[in-house]
Structure 1
Amino acid sequence: MSTATTLLRAAGAMLLTVVAAFAWWPVHADGAFVLLVCVTAPAASALALLARVRSWPAVALGGAGVALWLVLGVPLAVPSLALGRVLPTPEGLFELAAGLIEGWRGLLTIALPVGDYQALLVPVFTLVLVSALIATGAALSERWAVLAVVPPAAVLVEGTAFGASVGPAPAAQVGLGAVFGVLVVVWAAWTGTARRGNGSAPAARRSGRRPRAVPTVAVVVAGAGVVAVVAGLWFSAGPGAVRVVARDAVEPGFDAAAMPSPLSSFRAGFVADRAEAVEFMVSGVPAGTRLAVARLDEFDGVVFRVSDDDGLERVTGAIGVAPPGGSTTSEGSSTAASSSSSAAMAVQVEDYTGAFVPTAGTPEEVRFTGERAQSLQNGVYSDSELATVAVAVPLGSGDGYTLVYSPAERAAPVGRELATLTPGMPGATDPGTPDDSVVPAAVGARLAEWAPADAAPGLRLEGIVAGLRSGYVSHGQAGEPASRSGHSTARLQQLLTDSPMLGDAEQYAAAGALLARAAGFPARVVVGYVVPRPGEEGDVPGGTVAGEGAATDARGAATDASGAAMDASGAATDARSAATAAIAVRGRDTAAWVEVLTHEQGWVTLDVTPESRPVPPAVAEDDPIAVEPPRIVDPAPEPADRGTEPSVTATENDDDSPLPQTEPWWGIAAVVAGTVVALLLVAAIPFMVILLMKRARRRRRHRAPPRASAAGAWDELIDSARDHGLPPPPRATRRESALVLAGDSGGVRLAERVDAAVFAPEVPRAEQVDELWQASDRERRALGEHRSRWGRLRAALSTRSLRTYHGTDTRNG
């Protein structure tokens, strides 16, 4: 092999690996990934080339590959731990080794793209390095050159498998598959022709006949293009469509649906010893800002909770932002879409405990501070559609964080502003109207009273808000009228039938969400806090100091997230304001409200809780609007301690409560089996094309005129010999070829009979031609008698006879 050919083969193997590696782009989508691929693949190919030139044994090449992995691993795969981003460090080497083991699962449990977060670049770095080493080594071998496409193909498949359930743009995915498919075919044609060489192809050129490989390669390339398009469309599934990927088989690390509903412990914030306790200090947000803890979109008759469909995904700190209107976003879009209107707030946790992180507006990025910052940062989970953030390690005293968020563009509509709204399209965050068995009967009666069906949607929503706000507030504490806690079906039935209505934000928000859904608006309940006005929160020792430190962090987070849109002077001004406006949020600032999805403004906030005012005496029992509530057993009352939230027990899930439905095992097995069969069929298409082309060639030869058909019988034997790796001698007669290929009297007699049929004065009869074809088939079978089953299969699927010659290369006579 010449030096030029050696270099070209190494470059080809490297190119195959680079193209295949970009199947991982949707997983990382970061400049660090591009640098990794562009450095690792050439370095590994150069090492394999050096090993070939120096004739290193496989063990030496493997050891050199490990050394290269250690040298390049930290600066390329864990750049944050590299000294000067160039030299490996002990800590970086430890993370590199850990990433090789844990990185694979980490990629399946975190929102995409991940960039260069932690050590999640280690898997693709390892794959690219190993693929380039093996592919280049195979490419430089005459025997195994065609198999150099296998390692890059594995990289391509794994990149797709580790991708998102929601596919990227089909054009990009199909384009990548098509480019890789064309490269594979060109590589196979080139290396196969070269392997056949050292005689046949050069001899053909010396004899004046040009190899007719171009038409065959063109057909195979076209077939590969079709396969690539079909496979690409299947894998990509189009924007918004869901496909089966590896992450579907991994259980999420944070199951919000299995956690106790934060709304169930709402009233614990108003108990005497908790009402004045400082939950956390917040700075960077104006008074009156609503800080959401969790958005609850499913009602099961006992509590509002996060639905099973809204799984929180692990994120790197940058949180995907749902587009206006509540439409579904791609699972792969997790890069914070900061804008010039982004703001930052800082929180210092005091008595607050829980896995849900209080947030303002639409969260974009969260960064933790304090002694547990790293452990908290490594376990951040988010749902961009619910605008909810949680942590695997519950927040506690001493923790802090800064949050970059997008404030609401317009104030919550009130009064007549509601009349212009129309329902938005339900999305993934709205499971729809609950089962009638869990909706209080009084919802229909109040809906007919406050929001008649013949009214416009906005007017119906306005009537619901006005009707609920006509009630009265009581938290059931000392000095207040008796008011039961909870928001079960029975408690909401009581609220909507009592006269006057009496409850707190827990009941009013839950009832408002059910009424809005009944009126056609997708709705959910939000539980959180309302930031009090300065002076109303009381004096908190050390509040200003905590605010200053948090504000400094907020300035840094806001600057990083917003970039040029928020200049340094603006960030400094915001920080000074935050430092002087550190506000204590207490238990009594707990709140709950309703969000409804509208066509005009997306998700909008509705405050359906009445203003605090004296509660009048109850209306007499014969009042015409009073409805006798049904006798329904309530769930157990919530404990007073906010830190220990109750869980829904089996006794609370009565016969009329819907049970969670799980996918049957046979359904999952059918999907997996169908996927495997589809992949096998797609992979078998190129081999089927080869067999069909050979069958068509044989049929064409057999049906030719008698003399040409007799010659075709011999050509069929010669092509079979080529496929078995036994090319005929150049410029040889049929008899000479038979002596070399067959070496027995049968092959020689066939050559003589074919010569007689071709050159005889009389045209051979049809039965004579058929006898020649039968003799040719016997000789073809004899070529594979002493070969293994695998050898015979390789010959049947070989393209040597297709890509080089169409006919015979022997001399007649």
Structure 2
Amino acid sequence: MSSPAPSAGRSRIRDTLTALVLALVVGTAMISWWPVYESGDFIIAAAVAIVAGSVIALVGAWRAWPTWRVIVAVVVAFLVLGVPAAVPSRSIGGVLPTVQGLLDLVAATALSWKQLVTIAVPVGSYQALLVPPFLLGMVTATVSVTIALRTRHPVAAILPPAFLMVAGILLGVVHGGYALPAGLAFLVAVVAWLVLVAIDDRRAIGGRRTVENALADARRVLGASTILALALVGATAVVLLTPVQARTVVRSEVQPPFEPREHESPLAGYRAAFAPDDADDVMLEVTGLAPGAGLRVATMDTYDGVVYTVGGSDGTSSSGSFTRVPYRLDQEAGRDGTQVRLDVRILAYDDVWVPGIGKLERIEFGGPRAETLADAFFYNDATGTAAVVTGLGGGDRYAAWSMAVGDATTARTLTPGTSVVPAAPELPIELEGLLDDWAPASLPEGERLAAVVDGFRSNGYVSHGTDGEAPSRSGHALDRLSQLATDQPMLGDAEQYAVAAAMMARRIGFPARVVVGYRASDATAATPAGGMSLLRSDLQAWIEVERADGTWVALDPNPVPRPVPEREPDQPLVVSRPQAALPPPPERTQVDVGEDADDRAEEQPREESDQWIAILRDVLTIAGLVVLAAALVASPFLAVIVAKLRRRRLRRRADSEVERIEGGWQEFADTAADYGYPIRAGSTRAEQAATVGGLAPLVLASIVDRAVFAPGGPAPGDDERVWRSVDELQQRLAAPRTRREQLRAAVSLTSLGGYAVSRRGGRA
């Protein structure tokens, strides 16, 4: 920020217009922040910040405040307006700040940045996460307007909004759905500001405002707008035809703070829920759960042959990435989706996993630890698993709004989805034998899956291995699954049936995962509020498979509890062998070898050709994007050059010879102004020639004056001679200068419409 300059002679109307245009530029830069918040509170906070910063800069320029006073004004405005605008939940009536609100506001200036990139979006007005855009918006507006009003380089006022837009991109979302609209809106606003600077510089010269000058200004704006529109249309077409990929932002590189691999798998302690002393403990009271629906605790998609877990051991599984959910999530209803509200009261349940159903949209905690639980809540949208770092305990309660998909009535109509789940060990040979018996490979995938589910339900028996039940070993490692397939009768519980069914579903081709949760039984008691009390023994496990439309549907492979028959002797696994040996392959002849070699020779070039085509396509795509980016960056400069060429053409082809002669002199004077000569529009041609210096400009000025003011008018051919002299003088002005100086003069805004200098009388 430069030293303040008196502004007594400055038009306050012009300064206000400058601040309004720059506020528009800052507002378009804020568009890149919208996907992070998607809330009306964000619009209010951004508007308050931009208006406050612009007003501070205007008052500071009008009253010639020093830098320190402007900074103090920004700090005071931040403290006074910050709580109502950026921390509305801590304000009184949405207007007056509270002490706690001020503490949150100050703390958020340092702490909210990391929270913003470790939380699921959109965040709305959650806690103090509106502070980053509010603070940056106020500072950006203040600095931008101050640069425009109090420095000699008003064009540089676009740099702070550009920084604000880049910050929104870096701290924003991975997908770039708003990238194109935000970029185009910001580019249009920047060009509008540059045109305003050019016109404002023309007015600051002191020349007369005539109808011709006004029309010239209008033509320049129209010409620049046309060129910009063509560039935007071309850029939009290229972007729309280019495949959209996830972009790398800060959010995509920051590790989430909740690590599910640090907690025991919910399936590992499954058998403990059926201990006789604890089986009847009331775990949860739930209202809103449909009869027969499962209340999920956690969804697991990673199996290492010993235990099913939430998230892989290497951290690459999508089920292992948890983020905070402060406000809401936008969930698609899908074909079978319905919105469900659950009201849950915690009794004996004590774990980090938050029971729920379907895809979570919003959650509100209650009880004495409501705020603590909200701060510690994390969610994985890929699997619908939620957790609180501090763990749930007796007395906690919450209301959750979710989008639930009804259980599939039949698996026979399903076709496999395309999701990629973490790799798992090979299916044990015993389960492979069951799969061949129950679901031959000749059947469609859906019928094979239905046969597997029916096979476990009809052939299996349930035993938790407790007192009074048939012996049944716990665990779900590969050897336990092999034992499940060979025991006669088949004996186990949901821990083994769910894992075995998930592995067989994956072998068929379905993406599959295991879910642990609670299912109401016939003995489940109703609550006075119309809900149900879920016991510890209501714990259950089932599987989910993905169908072709991307929806995960639940399937229950668990047998209905019934008396277990007497154990039958184990039968060795019979491996069927072919009845007859296959005939040996025919002997290879030289002709066969030659034909195979020819086939391979024909296939190899085709593969190499495909690779070269793919490489060429990638190179052309990258080159096209580079050219597009270069065109967007260069479009404002090209607009200036095109405007000057059009101006020269109009002058040289004017209707009358006198206008062509005057136009020649104006072209020379414009060139001199672009090279930095302090030429003024109100001075005579002789004075302008003297400013440039040298004999040739003075001679040309006298020739032009004589041709314009002579009683008989110009002689035939004077206009061509004047323009030849102008071309020679332009070459003389460019000759001693470097290529960089010549390029700077070519894109200079000084001569657009006049011979512009800065509004303080110095050289622009």
Q: Secondary structure at the match of 1:314?
A: coil
Q: Distance in 2 between matches of 1:232 and 1:371?
A: 53
Shift in CA distance, 497/745, structure 1 to aligned 2, threshold 3 Å: farther
Q: Which amino acid aligns with 1:798?
A: S
Residue type matched to 1:777 in 2?
A: Q
How far apart are residue 471 of structure 1 and its match?
2.0
1:666-688 C-alpha deviation (Å, 9 max, x unpaired): xxxx9xx9999899746632355
The partner residue of 1:739 within 683, 690, 701 is: 690
Confirm or deny: 8 A CA contact 2:123 2:327 kept in the other structure. no
Deviation at 1:513, TM superposition (A): 1.3
- 1:402: which partner in 2? 398
Q: Which residue of 2 aligns with 1:423?
A: 415
TM-score (norm 2): 0.77
In the alignment, is residue 39 of structure 1 matched against residue 48 of structure 2? yes
Deviates more, 1:726-735 or 1:611-620: 726-735
Shift of 1:357: 0.9
Work out whether 1:377 is the aligned partner of 2:381: no
Give the superposition deviation at 1:73: 0.5
CA distance in 2, matches of 1:113, 1:236: 25
Tell me the TM-score normalised to structure 1 length. Answer: 0.72
Matches within 5 A, 1:157-236: 157-168=166-177, 174-199=180-205, 202=208, 205=210, 212-225=216-229
Cα deviation 1:204-224 (Å, max 9, x = unaligned)? x38x66663444433433444
Deviation at residue 122 of structure 1 after TM alignment:
0.9
Aligned residue for 1:132? 141
3-state SS of paired residue (1:368): strand
Paired with 1:424 and 1:757, the residues of 2 have a C-alpha distance of 87
Q: Does 1:145 align with 2:154?
A: yes
Shift of 1:78: 0.7
1:309 to 300, 313, 318: 318
Q: Decide which of 511, 515, 518 is 1:529's aligned counterpart.
A: 518
Q: Is the 8 A contact 1:227 1:685 kept in 2?
A: no
Residue 603 (str. 1) matches residue 557 (str. 2): no
Q: Name the SS of the counterpart of 2:208 in structure 1.
A: helix
- Pairing 1:593–2:593 present: no
Indicate if the aligned counterparts of 1:324 and 1:601 stay in contact, CA closer than 8 A.
Answer: no
- Aligned AA for 2:520? V
What displacement does 1:72 show? 0.6
Question: Which deviates more from structure 2 when the two are superposed, residues 400-409 or residues 127-136?
Answer: 400-409
Cα 1:690–1:604 change in 2 (3 A) is closer
- Does 2:731 correspond to 1:777? yes
1:626-683 C-alpha deviation (Å, 9 max, x unpaired): 99xxxxxxxxxxxxxxxxxxxxxxxxxxxxxxxxxxxxxxxxxx9xx99998997466
Equivalent AA in structure 1 for residue 186 of structure 2: F
Instruction: Give the Cα separation in 2 of the matches to 1:675 and 1:120.
Output: 38
Take 1:300 and 1:702, find their aligned partners in 2: how far apart are those partners? 80
Q: Does 1:576 align with 2:529?
A: yes
Q: CA–CA distance in 2 between the matches of 1:219 and 1:438?
A: 68
- 1: distance between equivalents of 2:218 and 2:630? 27
Q: Per the alignment, do residues 711 and 365 of structure 1 end up closer, same or farther by CA in structure 2, a change over 3 Å counting?
A: closer
Distance 2:681 2:430 in 1: 95
Cα distance in structure 2, aligned partners of 1:302 and 1:599: 30
Structure 1: distance between partners of 2:651 and 2:403: 78
Q: Counterpart of 1:486 in structure 2: which amino acid?
A: G
In structure 2, the CA distance between the partners of 1:717 and 1:455, relative to structure 1 (3 Å rule), is same
| 2:1 is equivalent to residue 13 of structure 1 | no
- In structure 2, distance between residues paired with 1:407 and 1:616: 45
Q: Give the residue type in structure 2 aligned to 1:686.
A: S
User: Aligned-pair distance for 1:507?
Assistant: 1.7
Counterpart AA for 1:440 = P
Counterpart residue identity of residue 460, structure 1: R
How much has 1:116 moved relative to structure 2? 0.8
Give distance in 2, aligned partners of 1:770 and 1:257.
Answer: 81
Other structure's SS at 1:103 match: helix
Matches within 5 A, 1:620-699: 620-622=570-572, 624=574, 681=630, 684-686=633-635, 689=638, 693=642
* Cα deviation digits, residues 331-390 of structure 1 (max 9, x gap): xxxxxxxx7x6333222142522x221113444432233443322211222233422211
What residue in structure 1 maps to residue 450 of structure 2?
462
SS of residue in 2 equivalent to 1:342? strand
Q: CA-atom RMSD, angstroms? A: 4.5
Residue in 1 that maps onto 2:569: 619
Contact 2:376 2:388 in 1 (8 A): yes
Q: Distance in 2 between matches of 1:761 and 1:225?
A: 42
Per-residue CA deviations over 1:292-351 (Å, capped at 9, x if unaligned) read 111122334343334412322210153443533699xxxxxxxxxxx7x63332221425
Deviates more, 1:191-200 or 1:507-516: 191-200
Structure-1 residue corresponding to 2:333? 323
How far the C-alpha of 1:449 sits from its partner, in A, is: 1.4
The AA in structure 1 aligned to 2:560 is E
CA distance 1:198–1:597, change in 2 (3 Å): closer
The answer for unaligned runs of 5 or more in structure 2 is 1-9, 312-316, 578-618, 709-713, 757-764
Q: Deviations over 1:532-576 (max 9, x none)?
A: 445x67xxxxxx9xx7xxxxxxxxxxxxxxxxxxxxxxxxxxx73
- Within the alignment, does 1:357 sit opposite 2:354 as a pair? yes
1:329-368 to 2 correspondences below 5 Å: 342-353=340-351, 355-368=352-365
Q: CA deviation at 1:286?
A: 6.2
Q: Which residues of 2 match residues 446-457 of structure 1 at below 5 A?
A: 446-457=434-445
Q: Secondary structure at the match of 1:389?
A: strand
> Kindly tell me: are residues 703 and 720 of structure 1, through their superposed partners in 2, closer, same or farther at Cα, counting changes over 3 Å?
closer
Partners of 1:309 and 1:409 in 2: CA distance: 20
Partner of 1:489: 478
Q: Which residue of 2 aligns with 1:649?
A: none
Contact 1:474–1:482 under 8 Å retained in 2: yes
User: Is the CA contact (8 Å cut-off) linking 2:118 and 2:256 kept in structure 1?
Assistant: yes
For the residues of structure 1 that align with 2:14 and 2:380, how far apart are their CA atoms? 53
* Cα distance, 1:781–1:68 mapped onto 2, change above 3 Å: farther
1:176 to partner: Cα distance: 4.6
Displacement of 1:407 in angstroms is: 7.9
Query: How far off its partner does 1:744 sit?
Result: 4.1
Q: Summarize the Cα distance change of 1:35–1:230 in structure 2 as closer, same or farther, 3 Å threshold.
A: farther
Identity %, equivalent residues: 34
Which ranges in structure 1 are unaligned for 5 or more consecutive residues? 328-338, 538-543, 548-574, 628-669, 807-813
Task: Give the Cα separation in 2 of the matches to 1:249 and 1:601.
Answer: 26
**Are 1:514 and 2:503 an aligned pair?**
yes
Cα distance in structure 1, aligned partners of 2:196 and 2:44: 30
| Aligned-partner residue type, residue 357 of structure 1 | V
1:535-574 matches, within 5 Å, as none
Q: Does the C-alpha gap of structure 1 residues 15 and 409 become closer, same or farther in structure 2, counting only changes over 3 Å?
A: closer
1:693–1:405 CA distance, 2 compared to 1 (3 A): closer
2:248 is the alignment partner of 1:244:
yes
Cα gap change, 1:272/1:67 in structure 2, threshold over 3 Å: closer, same or farther? same
| Partner SS state of residue 530, structure 2 | helix
Shift of 1:190: 1.9
Distance 1:230 1:475 in 2: 68
Q: Work out whether residues 368 and 402 of structure 1, in 8 Å CA contact, stay in contact via their aligned partners in 2.
A: yes
Matched to 1:779, the amino acid is: L
Q: 8 Å contact 2:415–2:547 — kept in the other structure?
A: yes
Q: Give the whole-Å Cα distance in 2 for the aligned partners of 1:461 and 1:115.
A: 43
Paired residues of 1:317 and 1:380 also in contact (CA < 8 A): no
Residue 463 of structure 1, CA deviation: 1.0
Asked if the contact 1:422–1:599 (Cα under 8 Å) also holds between the matched residues in 2, the reply is yes
Q: Per the alignment, in what secondary structure is the counterpart of residue 388 of structure 2?
A: strand
Q: Is the 8 A contact 1:717 1:777 kept in 2?
A: no
What is the letter of the counterpart of residue 350 of structure 2? Answer: Y
Q: Could you tell me whether the CA contact under 8 Å between 1:471 and 1:502 is conserved in 2?
A: yes
Summarize the Cα distance change of 1:117–1:210 in structure 2 as closer, same or farther, 3 Å threshold. closer
CA contact (8 A) 2:521 2:538 kept: yes
Aligned counterpart, 1:114: 123
Instruction: Say if 1:48 and 1:455 are closer, same or farther in 2 by CA, change over 3 A.
Output: same
- Matched residue type, 2:540: A
